[in-house]
Amino acid sequence: MPIRAFLILAAGAMSAPTRATLRVRVHRPLLDARFPSCVASAAPPVRAARRIGTRRAPRMLAPAASQLVARGLGWAVSAASMSLYLPIAARIVRTGSADGLSVTTWALNVLGFAAAIVYPLRKGFPISCYFDTICLAAQSVLVLALIVGKSRSRPRTLALAAGLSAVGAAFAAAVRWAPVWGLALVQAGATTSMTVALLPQIGKNFRRRSSGGWSSTSALLSTVGNGVRVFTTATLTGDRLLLAGFSCGLLLNGILLAQTIVWEA
């Protein structure tokens, strides 16, 4: 009997389940050989199937040591800044005179500090990065008010009130409605204002060969604070605008510190 006829008779004698099993066993190797990717996707291995849906979420890495140090230093600077300009204010109250202090310097300080708060606030930086700026802005307002008050000039007092009101309105508007692209301009303006603010005081000190009523304690804390801010900003945010501002502050406050050391003695 031919082999083909024998296979046909044998297949006819089998039950239906047996024939189905035979077909799977005969044709599965052919399918594996011709379409291996289809077979793999249709019937994934048991181990792979067990892993689906049971993978653990990646662990959050702990903050680096440098970031922890930077945050700690940031809060230390903020704590020190709470009394940075108070020695100057106390000297004005004690002596009853603001002679030697530049009104322009303190007016620009108020404007610069107010603008400097907008940028990190809108960018969502940690409050430890700019809490000292908030403290310095409030103290600058106090010193400026004392300087104008000791001048006994009503027009200047009114101009101060109007100027501070305008700064407050501009600050509120910038925090709420300033576009993202405008934040860089605000920070650049703040850096320029705070840099230019110290120049009149430095120039007056050079002309008079005196510290100009500037406290050596304030100058020292400002110099150290700006130096620390350079490190914390580079570590926590890496923002170039803030780095430029703190670097300029470090340089100019260092000059003021040298003036107080040389001429206050």
Weakest mean pLDDT among 52-61, 69-78, 83-92, 108-117: 52-61
Higher pLDDT, 107 or 89: 89
Return mean pLDDT, the chain: 72
**What pLDDT digit, counting tens, does each position of 38-66 carry?**
444 444 444 444 444 444 433 433 357 77
The fraction of the chain above a pLDDT of 90, given in percent, is: 3
- pLDDT band for position 258 (cuts 50, 70, 90): very high
Helical segments of the chain, H only = 3-13, 16-34, 36-42, 46-51, 65-81, 86-95, 103-123, 131-151, 154-177, 180-208, 216-236, 240-264
- Sign of the CA dihedral 80, 122, 251, 112? negative
Read off the tokens for 19.
């024939």
Burial tier of 88 (Cβ tally within 10 Å: 0-12, 13-18, 19+): buried
Q: Could you give the dihedral angle defined by the CA atoms of residues 204, 208, 209 and 215, in that order, rounded to the nearest 10 degrees? A: -60
pLDDT of residue 191: 74
Evaluate if residue 109 carries a pLDDT over 80. yes
In whole angstroms, give the CA distance from residue 233 to residue 205.
Answer: 31
pLDDT of residue 240: 84
CA distances from 12 to 4, 8, 16, 61, 94 (A): 13, 6, 9, 67, 118
Say whether pTM exceeds 0.85: no
Average pLDDT, integer, range 74-100: 82
Evaluate if residue 128 carries a pLDDT over 90. no
Evaluate if residue 254 carries a pLDDT over 90. yes
**What pLDDT digit, counting tens, does each position of 137-178 carry?**
889 889 888 888 877 665 766 676 677 667 766 766 766 676
In whole angstroms, give the CA distance from residue 188 to residue 195.
Answer: 11
The fraction of the chain above a pLDDT of 70, given in percent, is: 67
In whole angstroms, give the CA distance from residue 261 to residue 82.
Answer: 23
CA distances from 170 to 50, 104, 115, 173 (A): 60, 19, 9, 5
In whole angstroms, give the CA distance from residue 184 to residue 187.
Answer: 5
Evaluate if residue 1 carries a pLDDT over 80. no
Read off the tokens for 241.
């605008």
In three-state secondary structure terms, 179 is: coil
Weakest mean pLDDT among 50-54, 79-83, 159-163, 184-188: 50-54
